[in-house]
């Protein structure tokens, strides 16, 4: 028998709460010998059930429904009682009595009250009485009747008013009200129904008629409640299904995205690894099969070194993205003379990849010392600048602009290159994404992903403005934090 600890606990509490309702003869044998509080696990072990697993499953389900309905009380008291009954039966208790329907009679005439109480009690109802509207209203929460028999002519507050007040209160508006009165005019009946009554009995009444009408209303009310519960269950089911559907859709989208990423990675890897590998292979073959002068041999070896370096960079990029994705990169800020830092980096780039471009640096942050991570800053500037160079024509101009503005550092890189089509702009920061207009310009689609991660790691922002055929402007904003 494997009942979850939560269900065991819930059932245990339910049993203890209801213990008073059982006569000792109702209790299963074991509980007579068990001192209180009841030892539920022992009790469960002793129940003679052929299929203990099925019993446990049944109890789990019933406990779950009970818990759900209990939150909607008092509307579901009958369903709750029915579920409790099933639970107690499964636990070996004798059938406990369902709570009798409670009827509240409101009448200022003691004789009527007495007669109705006696008759309805004999009919199997729990009858409570009130001699005027005010008393009835004050004790309603306590009694929570299933039906009200209401006299119309009463001093202070008449029946119509009591009825209207009940119908205006969400806690009581569903309780059926039967008017019971000497007033027999059609207008009186109409007023009774329009103020919210469900039935109308005239005095002097016949006991059988009252019983029959009360029973009919109680049955109708029970059916309504059942319908309401079923409706709520259905709504819950629909909500659960919708949630499951949404989750499935999300999982599907994620899977699609992953598979897209995988195929983009494969196409990038096959392009970007094949070229240096081919270089290495053919150069090694050339070195093997031909006689070379020392200078030529060194040139070939340098080609191999460059190809290996290229692959190494690629691997480093992929690893950096992987690491940052699992939050393993921690910024290590230090004091930097930001203008000097940019100038040094630009000088290096101008000598290598940017030798055919006019790179112009302008700054409104001279002498500014910033508390930033130099490695992250280098990645940002290097990647933006290498893109600006790579995606623009030789001899065209590239601007790097540095501005300090309100505790923020603005870093802008502008080029006059091929631009980025609007439909590609949104996804450029995702790994392996490349714009559709790159044509033969080679690339891995990792640079901007790294830039974005470096910006995010420093709580910054990056935006871009671009026009195809005219150029692109990337703007990075980094908050300037105080050194600890």
Residues making up the chain, counted from first to last: 484
Among 107, 146, 199, 415, binds ligand ATP (CB under 6 A): 415
Q: Residue 79: which of ligand ATP, Mg ion, none does it interact with, CB under 5 to 8 A by kind? A: none
Chain positions 50 to 89 lying near Mg ion, rule: CB under 5 A, are none
Residue 159 contacts residue 112 (beta carbons within 8 Å): no
- Residue 145 touching ligand ATP (CB under 6 A): no
Tokens of 131: 């001699």
Residue 402 contacts residue 411 (beta carbons within 8 Å): yes
Choose between 66 and 390: whose C-beta lies nearer to ligand ATP: 390
Task: Give the binding range for ligand ATP (CB under 6 A) out of 61-69, 109-117, 352-360, 413-421.
Answer: 413-421
Choose between 79 and 453: whose C-beta lies nearer to ligand ATP: 453
- Residue 387 touching Mg ion (CB under 5 A): yes
**Cα angle 107, 109, 111; round to 5:** 115
Closest CA to 422 of 470, 355, 386, 389: 470
Choose between 387 and 453: whose C-beta lies nearer to Mg ion: 387
Choose between 283 and 425: whose C-beta lies nearer to ligand ATP: 425
Among 447, 449, 451, 455, binds Mg ion (CB under 5 A): 447
Partners of 127 in beta bridges: 103
Q: What is the smallest separation between the CB atom of 445 and ligand ATP, expressed in angstroms?
A: 4
- Residue 31 touching ligand ATP (CB under 6 A): no
- Residue 468 touching ligand ATP (CB under 6 A): no
- Residue 387 touching ligand ATP (CB under 6 A): yes
Report how far apart, in Å, the C-alpha atoms of 455 and of each of 241, 346, 373 are.
40, 19, 11
- Residue 420 touching ligand ATP (CB under 6 A): yes
Q: What is the smallest separation between the CB atom of 308 and ligand ATP, expressed in angstroms?
A: 17
Distance CA 65, CA 79 (A): 10
Q: Residue 91: which of Mg ion, ligand ATP, none does it interact with, CB under 5 to 8 A by kind? A: none
- Residue 383 touching ligand ATP (CB under 6 A): yes
- Residue 28 touching ligand ATP (CB under 6 A): no
- Residue 417 touching ligand ATP (CB under 6 A): yes
- Residue 229 touching Mg ion (CB under 5 A): no
Q: What is the smallest separation between the CB atom of 353 and ligand ATP, expressed in angstroms?
A: 11
Q: Residue 354: which of Mg ion, ligand ATP, none does it interact with, CB under 5 to 8 A by kind? A: none
Choose between 63 and 380: whose C-beta lies nearer to ligand ATP: 380
Closest CA to 80 of 66, 96, 94: 66
Q: Residue 418: which of ligand ATP, Mg ion, none does it interact with, CB under 5 to 8 A by kind? A: ligand ATP
Choose between 25 and 440: whose C-beta lies nearer to ligand ATP: 440
Chain positions 428 to 447 lying near ligand ATP, rule: CB under 6 A, are 428, 434-435, 438, 443-447
Interface residues toward Mg ion, by CB under 5 A: 387, 447
Interface residues toward ligand ATP, by CB under 6 A: 383, 387-388, 391, 415, 417-420, 428, 434-435, 438, 443-449, 472
């Amino acid at each position: 028998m494997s009942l979850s600890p939560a269900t065991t606990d819930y059932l245990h509490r339910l049993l203890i709460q209801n213990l008073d309702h059982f006569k000792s003869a109702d209790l299963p044998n074991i509980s007579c010998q068990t001192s209180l509080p009841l030892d539920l696990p022992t009790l469960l072990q002793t129940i003679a059930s052929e299929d203990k697993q099925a019993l446990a499953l049944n109890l789990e389900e019933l406990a779950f429904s009970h818990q759900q309905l209990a939150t909607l009380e008092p509307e579901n008291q009958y369903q709750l009682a029915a579920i409790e009954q099933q639970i107690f039966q499964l636990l070996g208790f004798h059938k406990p009595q369902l709570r009798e329907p409670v009827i509240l009679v409101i009448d200022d005439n003691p004789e009527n009250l007495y007669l109705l109480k006696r008759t309805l009690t004999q009919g199997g109802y729990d009858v409570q009485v009130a001699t005027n509207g005010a008393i009835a209203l004050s004790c309603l929460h306590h009694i929570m009747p299933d039906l009200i028999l209401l006299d119309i002519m009463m001093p202070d507050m008449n029946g119509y008013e009591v009825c209207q007040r009940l119908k205006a209160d969400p806690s009581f508006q569903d309780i059926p009200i039967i008017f019971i009165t000497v007033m027999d005019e059609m207008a009186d009946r109409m007023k009774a129904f329009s103020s919210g009554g469900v039935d109308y009995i005239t005095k002097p009444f016949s006991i059988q008629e009252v019983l029959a009408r009360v029973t009919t209303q109680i049955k109708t009310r029970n059916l309504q409640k059942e319908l309401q519960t079923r409706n709520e269950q259905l709504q819950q089911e629909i909500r659960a299904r919708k949630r499951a559907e949404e989750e499935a859709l999300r999982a599907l989208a994620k899977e699609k995205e992953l598979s897209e990423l995988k195929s983009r990675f494969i196409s990038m890897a096959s392009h970007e690894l094949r070229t240096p590998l081919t270089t290495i292979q053919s150069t090694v073959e050339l070195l093997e099969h031909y006689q070379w002068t020392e200078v030529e041999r060194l040139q070939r070896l340098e080609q191999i070194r460059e190809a290996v370096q290229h692959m190494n960079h690629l691997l480093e990029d992929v690893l950096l993205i992987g690491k940052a994705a699992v939050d393993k990169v921690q910024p290590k800020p230090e004091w930097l003379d930001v203008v000097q830092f940019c100038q040094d980096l630009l000088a290096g780039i101008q000598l290598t990849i940017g030798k055919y471009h006019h790179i112009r640096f302008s700054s409104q942050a001279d002498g500014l010392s910033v508390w930033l991570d130099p490695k992250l800053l280098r990645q940002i500037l290097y990647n933006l600048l290498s893109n600006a160079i790579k995606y623009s024509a030789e001899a065209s101009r590239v601007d790097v602009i540095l501005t300090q503005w309100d505790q923020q550092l603005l870093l802008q890189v502008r080029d006059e290159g091929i631009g980025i089509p609007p439909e590609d702009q949104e996804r450029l920061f995702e790994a392996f994404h490349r714009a559709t207009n790159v044509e033969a310009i080679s690339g891995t689609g990792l640079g901007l992903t790294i830039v974005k991660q470096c910006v995010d790691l420093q709580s910054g922002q990056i935006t871009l403005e671009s026009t195809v055929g005219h150029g692109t402007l990337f703007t990075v904003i980094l908050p300037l934090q105080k050194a600890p």
